[in-house]
Structure 1
């Protein structure tokens, strides 16, 4: 999964360094219709220096409404599947109530377990800063272990928090996946993305 600052999807996890087209898979996708860009399938090649995608999942009470948390979990399943195929590392931090927990990694996912995505806290406030601090520690340890590794921080949240934490260090790239649907909108994700020089994308553009 990837994103552009204008909110549109770009590529998949692990495909950034691959330009070789997998023609058998492409033709199987194309079938008997004219070739289109969305038919193209690529050979998955892990970048020589490695990749880490660290996901921060908001499990607070506001994400429980409107199936936002369920949609976020579904998106994470797709991302983990993509990471497994590309053999890149992922990590998962979830936060909610008064806690933040590292649920997985950093590691290449070999199999899937729903408990990695179990909600933490089940309500209350949104410990946004606590979740980002936990993710920052994951990224820091990864940087010390593999200094040349490219590290991307994905923040999946509706931004319903009064906290305005500082930009996390140790991330080469930061992407906000915005699940906000409330009226009036706080637009926290978009504002933080602009302040941090990060990318911002609406969740529905990745889920559709």
Structure 2
């Protein structure tokens, strides 16, 4: 009935009120999204804090990411001859697979550089991580020396180019056994560096751990 309709219409907010309510809800949603983005779990540091214990909430560490910056996982994969011993390169490729999957779930970018022989090379340029990665990870081969300095120089150039498109927060992963003739300076412009140690076989030289300490980077054993 018309009378009932008029009664209900009196309780509805005005157009200005609806707009104000919509802006408030939009602001709340944006705040929740921003809080989520700035409170991402930093798994390497969390697992290092966990040690041999069962993972619990006090172990969790969070990554500080500048608001509005695109997170890019930058993987430096050691494909030298020493990584072929004990199937370490195969294990590193499995670790790379896990990083790629994590980047895809979080809708982050992924950049993968390999280094062996006398130079570094691009395996995956910086772009949105994909769901299926086995097709390009499985064929990665190894052999030769460990030109880490070349990989760092190539990474710095790629990051400089990527930042022309907007702010980028670079999360660098170095997957290596730490067997380098010379250790260069860490990548310039990296927001966070994690060294994943694959130094197994023979004496426990802890080379990757020493490299992480020199770079003041996080270190976790593979």
TM-score by length of 2: 0.67
Cα distance 1:117–1:142, how it changes in 2: closer, same or farther (>3 A)?
Answer: farther
Residue 136 of structure 2 is matched in structure 1 by 115
Equivalents in 1 of 2:178, 2:50: separation in Å? 20
Structure 2 counterpart SS, 1:52: strand
Residue 45 of structure 2 is matched in structure 1 by 4
Equivalents in 2 of 1:37, 1:5: separation in Å? 9
> Greater helix share, 1 or 2?
2
Could you tell me whether the CA contact under 8 Å between 2:97 and 2:137 is conserved in 1? Answer: no
2:92 to 49, 72, 76: 72
Cα distance 1:50–1:188, how it changes in 2: closer, same or farther (>3 A)?
Answer: same
Structure 2 counterpart SS, 1:7: helix
Equivalents in 2 of 1:192, 1:5: separation in Å? 20
Equivalents in 1 of 2:201, 2:105: separation in Å? 35
In the alignment, structure 2 segments of 5+ residues that lack a partner are: 1-41, 58-64
Residue 52 of structure 1 is matched in structure 2 by 72
In the alignment, structure 1 segments of 5+ residues that lack a partner are: 11-35, 39-45, 204-208
Equivalents in 2 of 1:129, 1:185: separation in Å? 24
Displacement of 1:83 in angstroms is 1.2
Cα distance 1:181–1:124, how it changes in 2: closer, same or farther (>3 A)?
Answer: same
Cα distance 1:163–1:113, how it changes in 2: closer, same or farther (>3 A)?
Answer: same
Residue 155 of structure 1 is matched in structure 2 by 174
Equivalents in 1 of 2:186, 2:83: separation in Å? 22
Cα distance 1:186–1:141, how it changes in 2: closer, same or farther (>3 A)?
Answer: farther
TM-score by length of 1: 0.71
Residue 199 of structure 1 is matched in structure 2 by 218
Structure 1 counterpart SS, 2:115: strand
Equivalents in 2 of 1:100, 1:193: separation in Å? 20
Equivalents in 2 of 1:108, 1:191: separation in Å? 32
1:180 to 195, 199, 209: 199
Could you tell me whether the CA contact under 8 Å between 1:96 and 1:119 is conserved in 2? Answer: no
Displacement of 1:183 in angstroms is 2.9
Residue 125 of structure 2 is matched in structure 1 by 105
Could you tell me whether the CA contact under 8 Å between 1:90 and 1:109 is conserved in 2? Answer: yes
Q: Does 1:82 align with 2:123?
A: no
Equivalents in 1 of 2:209, 2:88: separation in Å? 18
Q: Compare CA radii of gyration and give the structure with the larger one.
A: 2
Q: Does 1:171 align with 2:212?
A: no
Equivalents in 2 of 1:186, 1:6: separation in Å? 22
Aligned residues: 169
